[in-house]
Amino acid sequence: MARLFYTLLIYLCLPLILMRLLWRGRRAPAYRRRWGERFGLVESLPDTRQVIWVHAVSVGETIAAAPMIRRLQQQYPERIVLVTTMTPTGSEQVEKIFGNSVEHCYAPYDMPDAIARFLKRVHPTILVIMETELWPNLIHACHRRATPVVLANGRLSEKSAAGYAKIEALARPMLGRLSVVAAQTQADGERFLQRGVKESALEVTGNIKFDLQLSDTLRQKAAALKKQWQGSAARPIWLAASTHRGEDEIILAAYEQILKHQPDVLLVLVPRHPERFAEVADLCAASNYHVVRRSTLQATESELSDKVQILLGDTMGELLSFCGASDMTFVGGSLVDVGGHNLIEPAAWGVPVLSGPYLFNFTEVSRLLGEAGGLAICATAFELAEQVLALLTDADLYQQMSSAALAVTEANRGALNRLTTVLEKQIYPPPAQVSSRY
């Protein structure tokens, strides 16, 4: 009954959903395209080959899923890997990372008719969902078709668990239908059990984001960017990554204080969402900073002008290389109640990591980095400025934080191997289960 009311609500809200796509399309035109895919009108895949469906909502989940997807391609070359996202930026990331080696489209909205059309055309033999993107009708439809659903790199914060508790009649049956939950931590796993996941379905595999691999090509790109941005004066570079509305003002206030003591610091400011690029550029200009957009900076330019104070990161898919080009990185979504973004990416480069206090999406990662001394949490512009200045003037502190951040990432690798073992049991179940699933 709860799922019926939920479904009716989605259909009633459909005009608002479409209006939101149009509204977002004002600044990001890609939101106005490919609507058919969102209603299950996708190109049919050949039924002669089995399909592994991986769903990653947007950019962050796609990057996190990339090593797992590559492993699946290596282990099951005879199968088609379909990767779906919900955002244009996620779609761009899939194409950038995998090209035409995977199939790709948007996932359907959680409406029974859209899901039915999608499943009929795609006929997946398994669905792997990254992290938290759980939809009642989708999971119900897969369950009815005996299609295993695996939640990979699953996390459930206390805040999200409390939210599920408020809609228990809807959430508990949905969670109970998951074939496997590969949770990041034991605490995540316990919260999943409390909310309805079967004990036999729970595996604690760790966080696959720790298995991030920095290729030689990526390292070379980061080194080239750093050389270009630093210039001959070797100016310090502070990266503020994945910022949200309400954070940019705090970052700029901290930067103003930093410049009073270190006037040569370059701030690389990267908003989380592309539709905010122009807004943040205007905000920086209104504060009388000399701003240059990354998209206008030519690769042939040997170095950035020392007059530039802020480099606005207005391109997609480059943030990981930006982390490697910076001397220290602030990770956004943490000065406002968003829950934080990926702390592991800068830590993997061995640079000090800074953050605000809202970290419920990365509770365990922030705990590990904080206890090791690789993360500094700053709640205000003043605290942020003080921490940046301390790192710029205290070489021992800088080295300690850098080494600690890198050590944490190295010590927590291995989740990918554990996760792929879990997936193998679902892709090739024991003989007794074959007839019931395929």
26 belongs to a structural domain: no
Whether the per-residue pLDDT at 299 is higher than 80: the answer is no
Centre a 10 Å sphere on the Cβ of residue 20 and count the other Cβ atoms it contains.
Answer: 12
Query: Which two tokens mark 64?
Result: 């996190």
pLDDT tens per residue across span 395-420:
999 999 999 999 999 999 999 999 99
Question: Span 301-320, mean pLDDT?
Answer: 89
| Same domain membership, residue 156 and residue 70 | yes
| Same domain membership, residue 260 and residue 132 | no
pLDDT tens per residue across span 176-187:
999 999 999 999
| Same domain membership, residue 229 and residue 193 | no
**Separation between Cα atoms, residue 310 and residue 291, nearest integer Å:** 5
Contact (CB, 8 A) for 183 and 154: yes
- Exposed, middle or buried, 173 (CB in 10 Å: 0-12/13-18/19+)? middle
Query: Which two tokens mark 209?
Result: 């984001």
Whether the per-residue pLDDT at 252 is higher than 60: the answer is yes
Which of helix, strand or coil describes residue 128? strand
Tally the domains of the chain. 2
CATH number of the domain to which 176 belongs: 3.40.50.11720
| Same domain membership, residue 389 and residue 251 | yes
| Same domain membership, residue 425 and residue 301 | no
Whether the per-residue pLDDT at 434 is higher than 50: the answer is no
Residue 357: domain span: 217-411
Contact (CB, 8 A) for 246 and 332: no
Q: Please report which confidence band the pLDDT of residue 436 belongs to, taking 50, 70 and 90 as the band edges.
A: very low
Nearest to 93 by CA among 131, 118, 124, 58: 58
Looking at 134-261, list the stretches that DSSP marks H as alpha helix, in order from N- to C-terminal side. Answer: 136-144, 158-166, 168-176, 186-195, 216-230, 248-261
pLDDT tens per residue across span 89-113:
899 999 999 999 999 999 999 999 9
| Same domain membership, residue 55 and residue 183 | yes
3 belongs to a structural domain: no
Whether the per-residue pLDDT at 20 is higher than 70: the answer is yes
Stated pTM of the model: 0.86
Q: What is the CA radius of gyration of the chain?
A: 22
Measure Cα distances from 187 to 156, 198, 334 in Å: 8, 15, 21
Active site residues: 61
29 belongs to a structural domain: no
